[in-house]
Amino acid sequence: MTDASKSKGENKHWKQTIYDWLAEEGMFRKDVDDPKAAFHFGINFPVNSPYHIEVVKPRDMKDGILIVSVLRVAPSHRTALAKLPVEKRKSLVHDLKIQLLTRRPGFSLKGNEGVWDAVQFQVRLLNDNLSKTTLLEAIDDVFRSMLIVIWTFGHNFGVPTDQQQQPGFYA
């Protein structure tokens, strides 16, 4: 058996297994068409919520999967953040970064000058440690990191009024 055929067989196994776990928990939302992935599932977490998290097996990742979510910052929150005095904005952004650094998911910020457009969260799960429990814990960890941003922005700037399209994706 070649490495390529072995990898395809493993991907097929993990795709079905992970799909089954997500379906059992009522989280599965859709199978995403993604040419860069062996499989890519969109889920809702918590179940029946508007919050979207992705479970992805990139084609070039042989040893695991990624749990990913992108949280866009509402336009009204970006405007409010930009209007803060520079030192207050720096302090708020610094405190939020420190809170996120203490969490399991890695994060990356999109934006400039301390005004965030979006935050991406990501957890990598290796095949040798992949179980239903580790998958669900990683999904929960990503969601809790999203909540830190949502609640921090909500506390400082109120509930955004411009969430018409996808409320779960906004902080």
Q: Give the residue extent of every domain in the chain.
A: 3-169
Q: Are 122 and 55 in contact (CB under 8 A)?
A: no
pLDDT at 166: 43
Q: Cβ–Cβ contacts within 10 Å for residue 115, how many?
A: 17
As a whole number of angstroms, the distance between CA 2 and CA 22 comes to 30
pLDDT at 90: 92
On the question of pLDDT at 161 being above 60, the answer is yes
Higher pLDDT, 75 or 34: 34
CATH of segment(s) 3-169: 3.30.1460.10
pLDDT band at 49 (very low <50, low <70, confident <90, very high): confident
DSSP string, 24-83: HTT-EEEE---TTEEEEEEEESSTTSS-EEEEEEETT-SSEEEEEEEEEPPHHHHHHHHH
Higher pLDDT, 169 or 49: 49
